[in-house]
Amino acid sequence: MPRITIDDKKTPETDPETNGDAVAPGEEIVPVETATVPQEEYDRLKAERDLLFDRLARLQAEFDNSRKREAKERADFRDYAVSNAVEQFLPVLDNFQLALKSEGSAEQLRTGVELIVKQMEEALRSLNVQPVETVGAAFDPRVHEALELVERNDLPDHQVFEEVRRGYRIRERLLRPALVRVASNAQQKEA
């Protein structure tokens, strides 16, 4: 029958019963009695421990597999989303290539490019991408980036009067701000 013993040769500084207090000289440290565990109790505890270790190993493997599966699903979803967006732009690219091969006049080329731009805008609309409102709107630093502040007395103060580069958003999320020129009206500031 195995015996579990507790070391009775502890120093007073490490003895848990003294809580770290030093033992006065001449004071006796009483050793803890040797404990014995019946064999069947020992076997039961050992089997339970082995079962818990096995369960822990299985849970760790299951967690690792779940983490890998989630990363793969996320990558697959990203690839699917990108392929769905790219699919919308392939006809636009085809039309640009046809325009480059054409031998028509400059006016015919311009008309073709205008049609391609309309096709591109439609592809963006199908992906819920909307242009930021600019010309005629009040300057909003959350969606506009001012390129220049121009003195104009014929327009209200801080009104956008020219769009240099179009800005876009997806639903409420800004993809890029619109690059604009903004009017500054000194007469309205004084009033």
**Cα 133 from Cα 118, distance rounded (Å):** 17
Q: pLDDT tens, 63-107?
A: 999 999 999 999 999 988 888 888 888 999 999 998 888 888 889
Residues 3-16 have pLDDT tens digits of 554 454 444 444 55
**Counting runs of H as helices and runs of E as strands, what totals does the chain give?**
3, 8
Strand order in the sheet with 178-184: 144-151, 178-184, 160-165
Q: Helix or strand or coil: residue 153? A: coil
- pLDDT at residue number 12: 47
Tell me the C-alpha distance between 66 and 60, whole Å.
10
Say what the pLDDT of residue 24 is: 61
Query: What is the model's pLDDT at position 62?
Result: 96
Q: Specify the domain boundaries for CATH 2.30.22.10 within the chain.
A: 129-191
Place of tokens 């597999």: 65
pTM value is: 0.56
The pLDDT of residue 104: 83
d(CA 70, CA 124): 30
pLDDT digit string (tens) for 101-153? 888 888 988 999 999 999 999 999 998 999 999 999 999 999 999 999 999 88
Fold of 129-191: Nucleotide Exchange Factor Grpe; Chain A, domain 2 (2.30.22)
